A and B are shown apart, each in its own frame.
Chain A
Amino acid sequence: MSGRAVAVVGGVTTKWGVRSATWPELAQEVGAALFRAVPELRAEEVDSLFVGAAEPERFAFQSHVAPLAAEQMGVRPHRILQRTELACASGQSAIRSAYAAIASGLSDIAVAVGIEKMNIPSMAEANSSMGCVMDRMWDGPHGATAPPFFAMVAQRHMLEYGTTEEQLAAVSEKNHRFANSNPSAQFHEKSFPRDKLLRLPLIAPPLRLGDCSSMTDGAAAVLLVGEESARRFTDTPAWIRGTGQYSDFHNLAHSGSLTDWVGLKTASREALRRAGIGVHDLDFAEVHDCFSISEIIEYEALGLCGPGEGGRFVADGRSSIGGEIVVNPRGGLLGCGHPLGATGIGQAVEVFHQFARTVPPARQVPDPEWALVHNLSGSANVHSLMVYQRGGAA
Chain B
Amino acid sequence: MSGEPPRPRRPGGALSSEPRPEETPKNPPVEPKAKPVEALPFLLDFFPLEGAKETRLSRFYERLREGRVSTTRCPRDLELHWPPRTACPKCHSEELEWTDLPEKGRIYSFSAVLAGAPLGMEAEVPYAVGLVDLEGAPLRLFGRIEGRAWNALHVGESVRLEPYALPDGRWFYRFRAAD
Those of B104-153 within 8 Å (CB) of chain A: 108-122, 124, 127, 129-131, 139-144, 150-151
A144 and B112 in contact (CB under 8 A), knowing A137-B48, A155-B155? Answer: no
A128 touches B118 (CB 8 A): yes
Contact A127 B151 (CB under 8 A): no
How far is it, in angstroms, between the C-alpha of A362 and the C-alpha of B21 when the chains are bound?
61
Query: What is the bound-complex CA distance between A197 and B143, given in angstroms?
Result: 29
- B83 is an interface residue with CB less than 8 A from chain A: yes
Pair A155/B111 contact, Cβ less than 8 Å: yes
B47 within 8 A of A: yes
Say if the beta carbon of B44 comes within 8 Å of chain A: yes
- Can you list 22 A-B pairs, Cβ within 8 angstroms, ordered by A? A123-B116, A125-B119, A127-B117, A128-B118, A138-B142, A139-B142, A141-B47, A142-B174, A143-B117, A143-B144, A145-B117, A149-B111, A151-B112, A152-B110, A152-B130, A155-B109, A201-B115, A251-B82, A251-B142, A252-B131, A253-B131, A253-B140
Judge whether A274 is part of the interface by a CB distance below 8 angstroms.
no
Task: Judge whether A142 and B143 touch: CB under 8 Å.
Answer: yes
A153 / chain B contacts, CB cutoff of 8 Å: 109
Q: Does A255 contact B (CB under 8 A)?
A: yes
The A-contacting residues of B in range 9-58, CB under 8 angstroms, are 44, 46-48
Q: When each residue 124-167 of chain A gets 1 if its CB lies under 8 Å from chain B and 0 otherwise, what string results?
A: 11011001100111111111110111011101100100000000
**What are the nearest 7 A-B pairs in CB distance?**
A151-B111, A140-B46, A252-B142, A152-B109, A128-B118, A124-B119, A148-B111
A66 within 8 A of B: no
Q: How large is the interface on B (under 10, 10 to 19, 20 to 34, 35 or more residues)?
A: 35 or more
Q: Are B115 and A144 neighbours in the complex by a CB distance under 8 Å?
A: no
The answer to whether B109 and A156 touch across the interface, beta carbons within 8 angstroms, is yes
Selected from B118, B141, B151, B155, the residue in CB contact (under 8 A) with A143 is: B118
A135 near B83 with CB under 8 A, answer yes
Q: Mark A193-216, 1 if CB is under 8 A from B, else 0.
A: 000000001111111000000000
**Chain A residues, CB < 8 A from B47:** 141
A123 to B143, CA, bound (A): 23
> A205: which of B46, B114, B139, B174 is its contact (CB, 8 Å)?
B114
